[in-house]
C-alpha cells in the first residue's frame, strides 16, 4: 500500500534517479514538475479521504456478508436535534455512536448523559472543530483531544478511546497525536453529506442506495434534514433485514480507555 512513508521513499527514489539521469540525458524541467504534481496529488488524496489509510490506519467499515450496519452522528450535542434523534433511535431499538465536540458539552451535559445512559457510544471529535484544525501542531491537537476527553469524562465518568478527525482530514501531525493519545481513529464508509443536502428525498435516496453489509454511516445530529429522514431510513433498513449494531461491537473496538 502506498502510505505516507512509502510515497516519500518512492518520490525521493524517483527524484534521485532523475537527477542521476540528468548527468547523461537532458531531463526536461516539466518531468520534475509532473513528478512533483503527482506526489502532491497523492498527499492531497491521503489528507482528504478518510479511508485511504495514508497517514494512519483508520477503521471505516467491516467486510461481512451479515446484514449489519452501524450509525454515527457528528458535531453534537445539539440542544434541539440530538434529543429527537435519541427518541427515534429508542423507538427503533437502535444504538449509535455520537462523536462530540468538546466545546458544546458544557451547555448540553444532560443530553450527553442521556445519550450515554441510553446505551449509545460517546466518541471524541476534537474540542473546537475549527476550520483550521488540521493546521494545528501535534501538541495543539493533543491538547484539543485531551480537553474533550476531560469534559466528557466529567459527565459520563468514561474517557473515550474512539476519535473521528474533524472533516475527516488527516495529516502527519494528527497521526502522531492519535498515536500519542492512544486513540482508535474511526471513519465511515457512507458519508451522507447531510450538512450540504437539504432536500429530504434526495438525502434519503442517497443513503438507502448506499446500504450494504458492514457499512458505517456518517450523519450529523446538527442536521434538521437528517432528523426528518431518519424515521424512513430506519424503517427501510429494518424492512430489508438489516440489524443496526453499535459501532464498537460491529467493528470489535474498545470504546473507552
Q: What local confidence, expressed as pLDDT, does residue 2 receive?
A: 79
Measured CA to CA in angstroms, residue 253 lies from 3, 43, 107, 160, 241 at distances of 23, 28, 29, 12, 24
Question: How far is residue 174 from each of residues 17, 97, 210, 236, measured CA to CA in Å?
Answer: 32, 21, 29, 37
pLDDT bin (cut points 50, 70, 90) of residue 235 is very high
Banded model confidence at residue 93, pLDDT cuts 50, 70, 90: very high
Domain span at residue 24 reads 4-48
pLDDT reading at 1 higher than 80: no
Q: Mark whether 26 and 90 lie in a shared domain.
A: no
- Here the CATH number for the domain that contains residue 232 is 3.20.20.370
Q: Note whether 118 and 195 are same-domain residues.
A: yes
Residue 98 domain-assigned?
yes
Do residues 96 and 223 share a domain?
Answer: yes
Q: Are both 123 and 209 inside the same structural domain?
A: yes
Cα–Cα distance, 55 to 210 (Å, whole number): 26
Active site residue 180: no
21 and 111 co-located in one domain:
no
Residues 27 and 140 in one domain: no
Tell me the pLDDT tens digit for each residue of 96-152: 999 999 999 999 999 999 999 999 999 999 999 999 999 999 999 999 999 999 999
List pLDDT tens digits, range 2-13.
Answer: 799 999 999 999
Q: Model-level pTM?
A: 0.94
30 and 117, same structural domain? Answer: no
Query: 74, 75, 149, 221: which one is catalytic?
Result: 74
Taking residues 61-82, report their average pLDDT: 97
CA-to-CA distance for 129 and 127, rounded, in angstroms?
6
Q: How many domains does the chain have?
A: 2
49 included as an active-site residue: no
Report which of 43, 74, 70 is spatially closest to residue 59, judged by C-alpha positions: 70
Task: Please give the mean pLDDT across all residues of the chain.
Answer: 96
Does 11 share its domain with 99? no
Percentage with pLDDT > 70 across the chain? 100
- From 120, 125, 129, 220, the catalytic residue: 220
Q: Do 207 and 110 have their domain in common? A: yes
Residue 81 domain-assigned (yes or no): yes
Read off the pLDDT of each residue in 212-240 and give the average, rounded to a whole number: 98
Amino acid at each position: 500500500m502506498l502510505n505516507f512513508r512509502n510515497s516519500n521513499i518512492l518520490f525521493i527514489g524517483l527524484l534521485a534517479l532523475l537527477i542521476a539521469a540528468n548527468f547523461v540525458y537532458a531531463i526536461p524541467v516539466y518531468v520534475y514538475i509532473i513528478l512533483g504534481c503527482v506526489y502532491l496529488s497523492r498527499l492531497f488524496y491521503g489528507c482528504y479521504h478518510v479511508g485511504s489509510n495514508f497517514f494512519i490506519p483508520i477503521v471505516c467499515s467491516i467486510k461481512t456478508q451479515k446484514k449489519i450496519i452501524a450509525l454515527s452522528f457528528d458535531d453534537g450535542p445539539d440542544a434541539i436535534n440530538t434529543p429527537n434523534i435519541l427518541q427515534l433511535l429508542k423507538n427503533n431499538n437502535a444504538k449509535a455512536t455520537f462523536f462530540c465536540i468538546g466545546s458544546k458539552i458544557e451547555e448540553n451535559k444532560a443530553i450527553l448523559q442521556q445519550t450515554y445512559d441510553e446505551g449509545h457510544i460517546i466518541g471524541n471529535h476534537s474540542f473546537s472543530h475549527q476550520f483550521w484544525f488540521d493546521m494545528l501542531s501535534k501538541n495543539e491537537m493533543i491538547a484539543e483531544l485531551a480537553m474533550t476527553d476531560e469534559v466528557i469524562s466529567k459527565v459520563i465518568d468514561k474517557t473515550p478511546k474512539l476519535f473521528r478527525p474533524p472533516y475527516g482530514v488527516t495529516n502527519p501531525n494528527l497521526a502522531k497525536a492519535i498515536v500519542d493519545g492512544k486513540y482508535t481513529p474511526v471513519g465511515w464508509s457512507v458519508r451522507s453529506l447531510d450538512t450540504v443536502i437539504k432536500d429530504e428525498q434526495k438525502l434519503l435516496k442517497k443513503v438507502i442506495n448506499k446500504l450494504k453489509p458492514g457499512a458505517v454511516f456518517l450523519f450529523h445530529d446538527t442536521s434538521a434534514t437528517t432528523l426528518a429522514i431518519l424515521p424512513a431510513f430506519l424503517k427501510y433498513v429494518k424492512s430489508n433485514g438489516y440489524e443496526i449494531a453499535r459501532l464498537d461491537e460491529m467493528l470489535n473496538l474498545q470504546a473507552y480507555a
